[in-house]
Amino acid sequence: MSGKGAAAFGESNTISRHGAFGGAVSFHRHEAVETACAMRFSVFLPPQAAGGRVPVLYYLAGLTCNEETFMIKAGAQRVAAELGLAIVAPDTSPRGVPLPGDSENWDFGVAAGFYVDATVEPWSRHYRMYSYVTCELPALIAAHFPVDADRQGIFGHSMGGHGALTLALKNPELYRSVSAFAPISAPMQCPWGQKALAGYLGPDRDRWRAHDACELVRGLETVAGRPPMLVDQGLSDPHLQKQLSPERLEQACAASGYPLTLRRHAGYDHGYYFISTFIEDHLRHHARSLLA
């Protein structure tokens, strides 16, 4: 059973710890600087972590989800234990810092941070999930858990798929692998994305481009050295047409020559039964880069 890293993080920061597949899932809480509030996250350490640092995958969850959703629903631990991959899942927004209007919509505010740094009041003080996920959390993880910060990958679902794609595209030096389940591929072009980007960044659409995967792909000077994207999409997903638009990502990648594997699956919807079906493929996709 691995986990000395979790112990090193401090018992006061550890909410619970659960043996799983020879490793352990643990839940933690800390006072985050970026979001200026207490943040929660979960960690899976594979058994290999007992013997040294292992590569680490960051998983970004979707609207309404939290740091537990992926760990308890995706069935990822079996293959992560086999491959020797750690997984870290942050929460999806600041919590416990009541702001006007933060809980009136399930697609904005609490549990809907959209992995950007808000620039508009009243969100700009706490809603800094971009910096939290790319900088603060990885530094904390590398300091306290047996992971190799030079071998990081990122993936996510829906809003978190948007997060994974944009964070990877903006930070090629941080993430050596990337994938997504049913991502919001073009937030500038869909209601969820427009609401979030306008709310957190203001009405100037030029400021949104830095958080739109399609815009980022189109803006790349070169795709040399970029990690290939794996994207899975269910064709029974009720959000497919209006919110997700994988064809836009497909077109952007084709235009830029970005290596994308986009798989469309008949009969699968937007939920974790879909994710659990294809999670093994994603973990092996990441392992090909992280364990190379």
Interface residues with a copy of itself (CB under 8 A)? 1, 18-22, 24-25, 71-73, 75, 77-78, 234, 236, 265-269, 271-274, 276-277, 280
Q: Which amino acid is at 267?
A: G
Nearer to a copy of itself, 63 or 167 (CB): 63
| Closer to a copy of itself by Cβ: residue 42 or 185 | 42
Torsion of CA 69, 73, 75, 76, to 10 degrees: -10
162, 211, 239, 270: the catalytic one is 270
Neighbours of 50 (CB within 10 A): 17
CB of 207 to a copy of itself, least distance (A): 37
CA–CA separation, 60 and 91 (whole Å): 8
| Minimum distance of a copy of itself from residue 66's CB (angstroms) | 15
Cα 30 from Cα 140, distance rounded (Å): 10
Is 158 among the residues known to form the active site? yes
Write down the catalytic residue from 2, 26, 158, 256. 158
Residue closer to a copy of itself (CB basis): 187 or 246 = 246
Q: Which is nearer to a copy of itself, 19 or 51 (CB)?
A: 19
Tell the smallest beta-carbon distance from residue 72 to a copy of itself (Å). Answer: 5
- Tell me if residue 286 is catalytic: no
Question: What's the min distance (Å) between Cβ of 201 and a copy of itself?
Answer: 34
Comparing CB distances to a copy of itself, the nearer of 76 and 213 is: 76
- Catalytic residue among 42, 126, 237, 282, which? 237
Task: Decide: residue 267, CB within 10 A, 0-12 exposed, 13-18 middle, 19+ buried.
Answer: exposed
Identify which of residues 203 and 238 has a Cβ nearer to a copy of itself in the complex: 238
**Closest distance between a copy of itself and the C-beta of residue 65, in Å?**
13
CB of 111 to a copy of itself, least distance (A): 18
To the query of whether residue 237 is one of the catalytic residues in this protein, the response is yes
The CA distance from 17 to 2, in Å, is 11
The catalytic residue positions are 158, 237, 270
